[in-house]
Structure 1
Amino acid sequence: MNSKKKILFLDRDGTLIVEPPEDFQVDSLEKLQFVPKVITALHRVVTQSDYLLVMVTNQDGLGTQSFPEDTFWPAHQKMMQTFEQEGIRFFDVHIDRTFEHENAPTRKPRTGLLTHYMESEEYDLAASFVVGDRLSDVQLAANLGCQAILYTAEEEKYRKWKAEEEALKKQYPCLRLICNDWYRLADYVLMHKSRRAQIHRQTNETDIVVALDLDTPTEAVIQTGIPFFDHMLHQLARHAAFGLQLEVKGDLEIDEHHTIEDTALALGQAFVQALGKKWGIRRYGHFLLPMDETIAQVAVDFSGRPYLNFHAQWHRERVGGMPTEMVKHFFASFCHAAQCNLYMRVEGENDHHQIEALFKAWARAMRMAVEIIDDRLPSTKGTL
């Protein structure tokens, strides 16, 4: 699964703290003022995602007579201390001290301070963001190969940017959002977090480890001890294009019930973790799938409420070591843990075909439901 790190490159003055309009220098504790909502919003980002926070700021002439260091550091350190006390830790801080007329390679939007991020394979810059209050920050994103978010708390500047939004996005294809509210900005960033989950579910009957990635398909690794059940879960990974690793140690010496039920519960928990607050997802998915004489219909709604509507008639008790009665129970357990609605109907003569068609249609419906299609919550209630 993709383990590259994503970064939020954050401007300082005007983005994290208010920039004084008279001299653009935060050179005293009296001038230190955080922009509205930034602390709460960044706390959400660091606790609900795996983004690294990197501060990148131009401080014109820092260390010169026009901007002595002894006036800069007390306010800067107080800012950093406040963030730290709220659980907001920066992976790194990069400060360019040059004047604009010097055209230094280290000054934004140039990337001289950030070349190690560009040269290392450790970072996923295409999935990272630059957040700033100037068009030079957008240009920095373009130069880094990142996405950009323009933020301002100034209403006049915000209205101007929104009026020019189409032209700005044409000029800067990396520009994703123009925003004047840090809560809205955090929602957007979290919508694009790595949608991965790691679940370890252990009981007296089973020991299950699940790794799920909704956006990075990989070769599935699945071991439940029930070969036909493994084959069905491979259908989920392949047809939904999910990265899925699943290892189950169950009390198969008793029977298959606990292994199948607890696998469904762990898998449902993984979807809850990976989807987070569900911002931007389609929410609904459906698929009609034929398989020889069999036809399967599946619809899913990540509604936050568990419910299974299941219609199937089996012709034998087991298929490949898996009890047919456990098919419905698997999906009922999944619905309970994943907090979703499932409608499932299958008709056919061959139970192998019926079960496989159900799992394949379920996979395709799931792929549709978790797809990110916009930047809104798919509910009028305000929560799912």
Structure 2
Amino acid sequence: MNRKYLFVDRDGTLIVEPPDQQIDAYDKLAFLPGVIPALRRCIEAGYELVMVTNQDGLGSDSFPEAHFLGPHRLMLQVFESQGVSFADVLIDRSFPHENRPTRKPATGLMRTYLADDAWSRRASAMVGDRATDLEFAANLGVRGFRLGDGEWDWPAIAQTLCAAPRTAEVERNTRETRIRVRVDLDRRADAVVATGLGFFDHMLEQIGKHAGIALSLTCAGDTHIDEHHTVEDCALALGQALRQALGDKRGTGRYGDAHEPADAAAVAITLPMDETLARAALDLSGRACFVFDGVFPRERVGDLPTELVPHFFRSFCDGLGANLHLAVRGDNAHHMVEACFKAVARALRAALRRHGADLPSTKGML
């Protein structure tokens, strides 16, 4: 049962619905923003498109069919020219007061589909612009999306339908630390971090904030001995969670610059903080490598030993499978450490960002 459908309304969903709710002239035909690339992406992801539309009184004196057909056929031709084809177009012509079983949200038009068990209800969906479209989706047993409700537009719908969720949860339990990490690479939220080390928490929050991801990390570690195990194991767990959430890395920027070609050298993110300047270059290569250049002017910032800063990033690269070059210069140790975390987070932000479905490697895997 691999077949899946995307059922779509027409007016207000594919094309703009005019005030009189009739597209009966060519100058009334206008496409909704983002609809064509979104539908192309859905087709590439394996969806078959089926248009299901109520056209009140179509064929009556109030809505002559001849006035409808020209703009409707032009709409289909434009879609076709852009690689968007509909497997079926289903039109109900009744008025609302007639309460016919073929009029959405009723499913009379869908008898053939409802009698067919060769497609997945769970994988299919319905997109419309009215509450009745959501009722129709529920009656079909598929997921419903309503455009214009403040949450959904076509790019967001295509992203939800076509992209596997980039989330992960990792638990790492040893005799020295007990860690739980959750990440969502496609959602921004305030980081929730608790490691028992205040300044280290603040630095991990910088990663969540400046990488533009949702991050939750808790750690119960043997800080009564020292900070080493907590810092190292949090880095390993965070890197592992990011690696799991990335999946096969298709569509990612891979490098620390969103516009850098896949076969080019990584572009550095340079970040100033007062007298401090940090520079991070990142490649999600699948190969762990870390190079650090910098000397901190004091041994601790808060409860974090500065010698553990490069060790954190080295362990992070081990967990993530990343190549990271990090350099920092400055006079204030606090500024230097924070600039390091922010620069790496900004490089991550660019590398994690999605740009389509291509794999950014000539090897065929990352």
Question: TM class, shorter-chain normalised?
Answer: 0.5 to 0.7
Give the corresponding residue for 2:278: 296
| Pairing partner for 2:214 from 243, 258, 265 | 243
Task: From the superposition, tell whether residues 316 and 61 of structure 1 become closer, same or farther in structure 2 (CA, over 3 Å).
Answer: closer
Give the 3-state SS of the residue equivalent to 2:237 in structure 1.
helix
Paired letter, 1:203: T
Give the corresponding residue for 1:350: 332
Which deviations, in whole Å up to 9, do the C-alpha atoms of 1:240-270 show, x marking residues without a partner? 2211111100001111000000000000011
Structural mapping, 1:230-269, within 5 Å? 230-269=201-240
Task: From the superposition, tell whether residues 125 and 277 of structure 1 become closer, same or farther in structure 2 (CA, over 3 Å).
Answer: farther
Give the corresponding residue for 2:4: 10
Residues 1:114 and 2:137 aligned together: yes
C-alpha separation between the residues in 2 aligned to 1:379 and 1:361? 24
Residues 1:340 and 2:322 aligned together: yes
Give the 3-state SS of the residue equivalent to 2:361 in structure 1.
coil
- Calculate percent identity across the aligned residue pairs: 44
Residues 1:125 and 2:145 aligned together: yes
Residues 1:306 and 2:300 aligned together: no
Whether the 8 Å contact between 1:335 and 1:342 is mirrored in structure 2 is yes
Task: From the superposition, tell whether residues 117 and 198 of structure 1 become closer, same or farther in structure 2 (CA, over 3 Å).
Answer: farther
Paired letter, 1:241: G
Give the corresponding residue for 1:227: 198
Give the corresponding residue for 1:5: none
- Count matched residues: 251
Structural mapping, 1:88-237, within 5 Å? 91=122, 113-115=136-138, 125=145, 192-237=163-208
Deviation for aligned residue 1:209: 0.7
Which deviations, in whole Å up to 9, do the C-alpha atoms of 1:29-59 show, x marking residues without a partner? xxxxxxxxxxxxxxxxxxxxxxxxxxxx944
Which deviations, in whole Å up to 9, do the C-alpha atoms of 1:90-133 show, x marking residues without a partner? 64999xxxxxxxxxxxxxx9665314799xxxx78379xxxxxx
Residues 1:379 and 2:354 aligned together: no
Give the corresponding residue for 1:367: 349
| Pairing partner for 1:326 from 277, 301, 308 | 308
C-alpha separation between the residues in 2 aligned to 1:322 and 1:279? 36
Paired letter, 1:251: D
C-alpha separation between the residues in 1 aligned to 2:346 and 2:324? 13
Paired letter, 2:343: A
Deviation for aligned residue 1:357: 0.5
C-alpha separation between the residues in 2 aligned to 1:323 and 1:338? 23
C-alpha separation between the residues in 2 aligned to 1:245 and 1:332? 21
Q: Determine which structure has the larger helix proportion and give its number.
A: 1
Whether the 8 Å contact between 1:191 and 1:278 is mirrored in structure 2 is no
Paired letter, 1:206: T
| 5+ residue gaps, structure 2 | 7-45, 49-108, 126-131, 257-267
Deviation for aligned residue 1:374: 2.1
Residues 1:316 and 2:339 aligned together: no
Deviation for aligned residue 1:288: 0.4
C-alpha separation between the residues in 2 aligned to 1:61 and 1:190? 20
Give the 3-state SS of the residue equivalent to 1:316 in structure 2.
coil
Which deviations, in whole Å up to 9, do the C-alpha atoms of 1:57-86 show, x marking residues without a partner? 944498xxxxxxxxx68xx4xx58xxxxxx
Paired letter, 1:321: D
Task: From the superposition, tell whether residues 191 and 315 of structure 1 become closer, same or farther in structure 2 (CA, over 3 Å).
Answer: farther
C-alpha separation between the residues in 2 aligned to 1:337 and 1:259? 15
Paired letter, 2:137: L
C-alpha separation between the residues in 2 aligned to 1:201 and 1:344? 26
Paired letter, 2:242: F
Whether the 8 Å contact between 1:191 and 1:375 is mirrored in structure 2 is no
C-alpha separation between the residues in 2 aligned to 1:291 and 1:174? 35
C-alpha separation between the residues in 2 aligned to 1:306 and 1:329? 13
Whether the 8 Å contact between 1:216 and 1:241 is mirrored in structure 2 is yes
C-alpha separation between the residues in 1 aligned to 2:326 and 2:180? 27
Paired letter, 1:248: C
Give the corresponding residue for 1:279: 250
C-alpha separation between the residues in 2 aligned to 1:195 and 1:207? 24
Whether the 8 Å contact between 2:207 and 2:341 is mirrored in structure 1 is yes
Give the CA RMSD over aligned residues.
4.0
